[in-house]
Structure 1
């Protein structure tokens, strides 16, 4: 596995990424990089913590009352996925904007079969929505 940017915040998180199936690992690493880039670009978001929740890498701004956590993992279908808290409106709102560009798992996950440029742009919006959810 190539060295991630930024470096993983713990060996446990590195191990989880190393354990992801080879077919989804590059996509999940790309989403992780987008997430940190979006956080750095937004002065209201600031730093992001990277922890494990339910065995999945989880990301949330360290600044209180800023965002809602998002997790990276593998969906039941075997695709890379971004998971969000099911009681937020993040996935619902995102699905209204991109009804056909992504597949969805209820109100909790956006599935990522691949990341072409159009999907990367949409994914940036999803990430910003999570990072700024409480602002």
Structure 2
């Protein structure tokens, strides 16, 4: 079942403040929803990478890995991370610099006190999970 959180993810988020954990669960659901809404992405493989929940397009090879976790070990911020050698963060900035916050070339950062901008974040996640479909081979 898609909403069943794997034990490895639960363990990675163990001990986080409840508000932060709820935001990460919401972001996880969004990643899974984006993937399920796009047949080109196919099923995601959910695992831990660097101790963080990660979503891979192993079946289709359509995109780059998306990781989600708290940001900089903060109780007030969380993020989704992508491979820093992609051009995705620059593309996100062109589209959503007025709505999203970024950290370098690898993270889109959110504050737990703010609502998640679902439309913009869904689009960014979709761009990551289909990155290899647009990239010349």
Corresponding residue number in structure 1 for 2:68: 72
1:27 aligns with 2:23: yes
- TM-score using structure 2 length: 0.86
- Cα offset for 1:6? 1.8
- Structure 2 residue 3 is matched with structure 1 residue 6: yes
Secondary structure at the counterpart of residue 76 of structure 1 = coil
Per-residue CA distance 1:25-79 (angstroms, 9 max, x = gap): 1111111101111111111111001100111000011224311001111222721
Q: Deviations over 1:71-110 (max 9, x none)?
A: 1112227211111110011111111111121211001100
* Aligned mates of 1:108, 1:24 — CA distance in 2: 20
Q: Which runs of 4+ in 1 moved over 6 A?
A: none
In the aligned structure 2, how far is the partner of 1:58 from the partner of 1:73?
Answer: 9
Give the match for residue 51 of structure 1.
47
Match of 2:115 in 1: 115
Q: 3-state DSSP class of the match of 2:64?
A: coil
Structure 2: gaps of 5 or more residues: none
User: Does the 8 Å contact 1:27/1:115 carry over to 2?
Assistant: no
TM-score (norm 1): 0.87
Report the aligned-residue RMSD.
1.7
Listed as ranges, the gaps of 5+ residues in structure 1 are: none
